[in-house]
Amino acid sequence: MSKKPKKLKTEDVEVRQLSEREKEQLVRKWVKMVTAFPEVEYKVKAGVPVNGVSQMTVLHCRELPDELERGCGISRNNGRSQWAPNVGRNRRLKKLTAYRAPYDLFGVMDDVDTVSHLCHNTVCFNPFHHALESLNTNKGRNWCPGPMSGCVHDPPCLRQGHQYKHATGALAGNYALALVIDDDSELKA
């Protein structure tokens, strides 16, 4: 009777336990994985209607495919995608929120609270659609009128915020005022 070889337990490691070389390799792996994700085109509102015509734009988001490649390290958990790739033999990175993984790996998340989706698509992995900023600024984007209607954010939103159409009363009035006040601080008719 032969014995089965003993399976080694996989160790979960923190980002701070990785060498700079391992971090760089993981970021390259993440970029390669994300560029293989399907590009999804969305035709979305870019601002408030002008003369009754909606202002539209096309966004190119990268989203998780329905069928994930085996061993890519991504798992779905209650609508959130997490990334826990292997880091060498019997070592695996502790789970990171998948779309913000490269920022976590290089420690840039220490200075800011969130990775904001400029496209307002929470499942988008396109790094050109992300901005590092405070939670207040991130939440403020939800009520943004859009890039063609006076977006005040830097970098600007790529589309109208999903809460903007529901804004009423003082909030909607404040946005309307911000859009019609000229350089001399006089209201335009």
Q: Hey, is 164 helix, strand or coil?
A: helix
What's the confidence (pLDDT) of residue 41? Answer: 92
What's the confidence (pLDDT) of residue 44? Answer: 83
CB-facing half-sphere around the CA of 114: CA atoms within 13 A = 12
> Do residues 117 and 132 make contact, with C-beta atoms less than 8 angstroms apart?
no
What's the confidence (pLDDT) of residue 95? Answer: 85
How far is it, in rounded angstroms, from Cα 11 to Cα 90? Answer: 6
3-state percent helix, strand, coil for the chain, nearest multiple of 5:
30, 25, 45
Domain definitions of the chain by residue range: 11-141
What's the confidence (pLDDT) of residue 8? Answer: 59
What's the confidence (pLDDT) of residue 111? Answer: 65
Q: How many CB atoms lie within 10 A of CB 129?
A: 22
CA 11 from chain centre, in angstroms, equals: 28
pLDDT in tens, 102-136: 888 877 776 677 889 999 888 889 989 998 888 88
Topology adopted by domain 11-141: Homing Intron 3 (I-Ppo) Encoded Endonuclease; Chain A (3.90.75)
Would you write out the chain's pLDDT as a tens digit for each of its 189 residues? 566 665 556 678 888 888 889 888 898 888 888 888 899 999 887 777 777 777 788 899 998 887 777 777 888 776 678 888 888 777 888 888 888 888 888 777 766 778 899 998 888 899 899 988 888 889 989 888 888 888 899 999 998 887 776 554 334 333 333 333 334 433 332
What's the confidence (pLDDT) of residue 170? Answer: 38
